[in-house]
Amino acid sequence: MGHIELRDIDDDDLDAVFEMMRDAEAIALASFTADDPNDRAAFDAWAARNRAAGDVLYLIVTDNGGFAGSIAAFTLDGDREVSYWLARHAWGRGIATEALRLLISREPERPLFARVAAHNTGSIAVLEKNGFTEVSRDVAFAPGLGRDTEEIVYALLPALDGA
C-alpha cells in the first residue's frame, strides 16, 4: 500500500470508474450492482445523479496519486450508508481499509451502514477492521450473480460517552 488519499471525482475519472465497475470478478463479489454494467448511458446518468446530489459524498481513491477506486457516503431510506469499489490492481493491499478509514473521518453522521454480499470476505474484513459490526442478514436479488444471495448489513455505531 502506498500513500492513500480521497479526492473529489472529476469528469476525467468517469472512464476509469466505468471500466472498474464492469470487471466481471468484481461484479460477482459485489453482487448488488447495476442491472447491466455495460450500459454506459445508465452509468453516466447514475454518476451525474450522484455528483449532483447534495447528500452524496462521492470520492476517488488514489494510491500514490494513481486511480485505485471510488468510495461514497449517501442516504438511503433515511440511513447513512457507505460504499466502495476498488480496481482489481488495488485488491488485497489494505487500500480499501485505509480509504474507508479516511471516509469515516470525514463523515460525521452515525450510525453508518454498509451492505455486503456474505461471500465477499474481503469487504467484510475491511468493514470489521474499521469498527463496523453485523446488524442483520437478509436474502435479496443480486444482479451481479443473476440470483438471490445473502446480504449482510453492517453498522458503525456512535461511540459511547467516555469510551
pLDDT at 159 over 50: yes
Are 156 and 129 spatial neighbours (Cβ–Cβ below 8 Å)?
Answer: no
pLDDT at 1 over 90: no
State whether CATH 1.10.150.20 applies to domain 4-156: no
What pLDDT score was predicted for residue 143? 87
Question: What is the average pLDDT score of the chain?
Answer: 94
CA distance 149 to 66: 33
| Overall average pLDDT of the 69-94 stretch | 96
Helix and strand totals (H; E) in the chain:
5, 7
Q: Strand 79-86 relative to strand 112-117: parallel, antiparallel, unpaired?
A: parallel
Cell of 133: 459490526
What pLDDT score was predicted for residue 80? 97
pLDDT at 160 over 60: no
| pTM for the predicted model, two decimal places | 0.93
CA distance 111 to 43: 28
What pLDDT score was predicted for residue 163? 45
What pLDDT score was predicted for residue 161? 53
pLDDT digits (tens, 9 = 90+) for 24-80: 999 999 888 999 999 999 999 999 999 999 999 999 999 999 999 999 999 999 999
